[in-house]
Amino acid sequence: MNFAVKSASFFNSIAAGYDELLAADSWSRGAFYELVKERATPGSLVVDFGCGTGIDASWYASQGMDVVACDVSSGMLAQLEKRCEAEIARGQVTPFLGDYPSLLEMTLPRQARLVVSNFAVLSLIPDLRPTFAAFSNYLEPGGYVVVSILNPFYWKYLRGRWWWSSLLPSIKARCQRIQGLQHDTYRYFTSGVDAAAAPHFQRVGTAGVDIIIRPEEQRGDWSNPRTLRGKLEKSLWQAPVVRSLGQFMLLVYRKCE
Ligand SMILES: C[S@@+](CC[C@H](N)C(=O)[O-])C[C@H]1O[C@@H](n2cnc3c(N)ncnc32)[C@H](O)[C@@H]1O
């Protein structure tokens, strides 16, 4: 899986500075946590797919959840092991490092309630069908997947000529592929993710974030927005049309019984 090897190598190279890079994104992280909290309770097992440096894993553990935190990047997982040292010692966070195929075949201590994948991990994967098949295997009947992916229809992209010239092939593929030097990025249409998930899952939630807030507001507290833009975004994040315009799409799938 060349694409995952490339991603691992890229994230190894930025692992030490990753938290600093993402420090300004507590707003969208807070939105993601809201969707997680609605579906998992203390004691639930959560699989954090593409867990990175463990920012989320440590939060899930603080909420009483058990976490299997997996990633393809040894550098990112080493940061997680530092951050979550105490949680790992008491068995609440279990790190798993492996190549992409082995991440799809992990043996879990029990069936999970939730699979989460935050900050566009799935936007690094060219075919999501095996990914969702693995998620289905991890989950108990009625379990959930919560993902945050890059949105091809983020309104700021629509101002670029390149966006319009890539539109036709993207419509066919239900995904806009952006070729990069270090790795490619796949901005899936919601319908493209739905199709990959379809044999096992039904989408039950859709939201958007980073729609109208300014970069300096991204450090804001989702649970208590202080600016008018923040309040407006939070009140409209699940509204049809508006939710389709944010930088990130948040999608929730429920495993079919
Ligand atoms: C943008 S970071 C997000 C990390 C973390 N989820 C967060 O919220 O901060 C993307 C992560 O996905 C991991 N990753 C990349 N390709 C992957 C793949 N094919 N399978 C699993 N993880 C992958 C990277 O190593 C990196 O840690």
User: Over the stretch 44-53, which tens digit does the pLDDT of each residue have?
Assistant: 999 999 999 9
pLDDT of 1 reads 58
53 alpha carbon – ligand 1 mean position (Å): 9
> Ligand 1: which residue has its CA nearest to atom 27?
52
Given a contact cutoff of 8 angstroms between Cβ atoms, the answer to whether 54 and 15 are in contact is no
pLDDT of 203 reads 98
CA 31 distance to own-chain centroid = 12
**Residue whose CB lies within 8 A of the most ligand 1 atoms, among 20, 71, 83, 105, for a mutation test:** 71
pTM of the entire structure?
A: 0.97
Q: Rg of the chain over CA atoms, in angstroms?
A: 17
> Ligand 1: which residue has its CA nearest to atom 13?
50
> Ligand 1: which residue has its CA nearest to atom 21?
50
- Contacts of 46 by beta carbon, 8 Å cutoff, 6+ apart: 36, 40, 60, 65, 66, 67, 68, 112, 113, 114, 115, 116
**Residue whose CB lies within 8 A of the most ligand 1 atoms, among 72, 102, 105, for a mutation test:** 72
pLDDT digit string, tens, across residues 89-137: 999 999 999 999 999 999 999 999 999 999 999 999 999 999 999 999 9
- Determine whether the shortest distance from the Cβ of 65 to ligand 1 is under 6 A: no
Given a contact cutoff of 8 angstroms between Cβ atoms, the answer to whether 152 and 170 are in contact is yes
Relative to beta strand 248-255, strand 45-49 is unpaired
- Between CA 24 and CA 216 the distance in angstroms is 8
pLDDT of 194 reads 98
Mean pLDDT per 10-residue section of the chain, whose length is 257 residues: 92 95 88 96 97 97 98 98 98 98 98 98 98 98 97 91 87 92 94 96 97 86 92 95 94 93
- Between CA 100 and CA 19 the distance in angstroms is 23
